[in-house]
């Protein structure tokens, strides 16, 4: 920790707080019926998105999952456009056409949340292939869950990534569950990173509640990819505090409350704040200010979203095809 610059540490902390605030407020709005559809919240897993994303440029890409808000917030997404999208407004990232599960920002290299579990890895290798083809040193970070690691798409993409030495990082967010099924009931292995060897890439297991451990492991993998040395598999052990969809998360059939409380003991934000305090980088007051600022920003985003118009019904039939004079042009 000592060799990580203070501004980076504060940046990671700030990203985590902004994610959590974004998510907690979104949860409330869903419960009050203001956000339609399904909302998969990232609370508890913030260290992963923040610790990885702090290494990335706008031109680096990520592929995300159904649980994608945290990734976009950490990648620098515009909270107003995000909330407007969750609310299905015309001012949203996707003009209200995508919603939570398809939130995206191609300008930030965020290639979309995705409603199909396991859809990200094939897309990620395509972006990484493109980075290499175009001669950039951009990288692609592919986020996916423990559940998704059982989809064949992951396997195909991992094999191709290692074969072509693509600048892609497989970021497995192992929160212990695929929906309501515990990891030991969906795979016979304990460390998903054990799969990496089968493709010929390094696989590393990291404490996903510890933002600094995430930061360091991701930094190495990303540097390796930028150097042209190929992909890495990073497994982050983390936990989702809330339910698979929505907020609840305790008093549920598929896990004990005590387990939730145990994980909350190692809350990534609290952990980070304790360390920052220890290092004299952030006082309790300073931390409170970060939280307040995040809340203010989120509230502003919500207000923007609520004040935004719904799309015109006629927008239904727009944006399906690119109609610009297509012929002849390179992209």
Partner 1 sequence: MTTMEAPATREIPYVSAVAEAFAQLMREDPTIFIAGEDVALYGSVFGVSRGLLNEFGPQRVVDTPIAESGIMGLGLGAAATGLRPIIDIMFMDFMGVCMDEVVNQIAKMKYMFGGKAKLPLTIHTMAGAGTSMAAQHSQSLEAWFCHVPGLKVVMPSGPYEAKGLMVAAVRDDNPVIVVNTKTILGMKAHVPEELYEIPLGKAHVIREGTNFTIVATGRMVSESLKAAELLSADGLDVEVVDPRTLQPFDTETVVASVRKTHRALIAHEAVRFGGIGAEFAAQIQEEAFDYLDAPVGRVGAPFTPVPFSPVLEKEYMPTADKIAAEVRRILGKQV
CB of 179 to Mg ion, least distance (A): 8
Residue closer to partner 1 by CB (options 177, 263) is 177
Residue 86, interface with ligand TPP (CB under 6 A)?
no
Which listed residue (34, 95, 165, 291) binds partner 1 by CB under 8 A? 95
- Subset of 157-186 contacting partner 1 (CB under 8 A): 157, 159-160, 163, 178-181, 185-186
CB of 8 to a second copy, least distance (A): 33
Query: Torsion angle of alpha carbons 228, 233, 237, 240, nearest 10°?
Result: 90
Which listed residue (11, 34, 153, 202) binds partner 1 by CB under 8 A? 153
Residue 146, interface with ligand TPP (CB under 6 A)?
yes
Residue 117, interface with ligand TPP (CB under 6 A)?
yes
Residue 145, interface with ligand TPP (CB under 6 A)?
yes
CB of 246 to partner 1, least distance (A): 12
Binding site partner of 201, from partner 1, a second copy, ligand TPP, none, Cβ cut-off 5-8 A by kind = a second copy
Residue closer to Mg ion by CB (options 78, 146) is 146
Stretch of 29-37, 116-124, 163-171, 303-311 lying at the interface with ligand TPP (CB under 6 A): 116-124
Binding site partner of 66, from a second copy, ligand TPP, Mg ion, none, Cβ cut-off 5-8 A by kind = ligand TPP
Burial of 226 (0-12, 13-18, 19+ CB in 10 A): middle
């Amino acid at each position: 920790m000592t060799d990580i610059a203070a501004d980076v540490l504060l940046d990671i902390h700030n990203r985590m707080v902004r994610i959590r605030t974004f998510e907690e407020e979104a949860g409330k709005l869903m419960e009050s019926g203001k956000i339609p559809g399904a909302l998969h919240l990232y609370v508890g897993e913030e260290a992963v998105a923040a610790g990885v994303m702090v290494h990335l440029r706008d031109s680096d890409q990520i592929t995300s999952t159904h649980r994608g808000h945290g990734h976009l917030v950490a990648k620098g997404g515009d909270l107003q456009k995000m909330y407007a999208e969750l609310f299905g407004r015309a001012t949203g990232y996707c003009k209200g056409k995508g919603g939570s599960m398809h939130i995206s920002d191609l300008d930030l290299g965020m290639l979309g949340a995705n409603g199909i579990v396991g859809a990200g890895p094939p897309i990620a290798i395509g972006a990484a292939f493109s980075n290499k083809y175009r001669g950039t040193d951009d990288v692609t970070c592919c986020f996916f869950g423990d559940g998704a690691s059982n989809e064949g798409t992951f396997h195909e993409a991992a094999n191709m990534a290692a074969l072509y030495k693509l600048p892609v990082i497989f970021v497995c967010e192992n929160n212990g569950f695929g929906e309501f099924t515990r990891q030991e009931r969906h795979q016979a292995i304990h460390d998903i990173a054990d799969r990496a060897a089968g493709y010929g890439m390094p696989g590393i297991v990291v404490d996903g509640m510890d933002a600094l451990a995430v930061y360091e492991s991701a930094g190495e993998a990303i540097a390796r990819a930028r150097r042209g040395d190929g992909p890495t598999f990073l497994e982050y052990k983390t936990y989702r505090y809330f339910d698979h969809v929505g907020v609840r998360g305790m008093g549920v059939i598929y896990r004990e409350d005590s387990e939730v409380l145990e994980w909350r003991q190692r809350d990534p934000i609290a952990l980070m704040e304790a360390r920052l305090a220890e290092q004299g980088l952030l006082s309790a007051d300073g931390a409170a200010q970060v939280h307040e600022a995040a809340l203010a920003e989120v509230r502003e985003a919500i207000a923007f979203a609520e004040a935004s118009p719904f799309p015109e019904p006629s927008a239904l039939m727009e944006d399906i095809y690119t109609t610009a004079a297509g012929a002849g042009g390179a992209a």
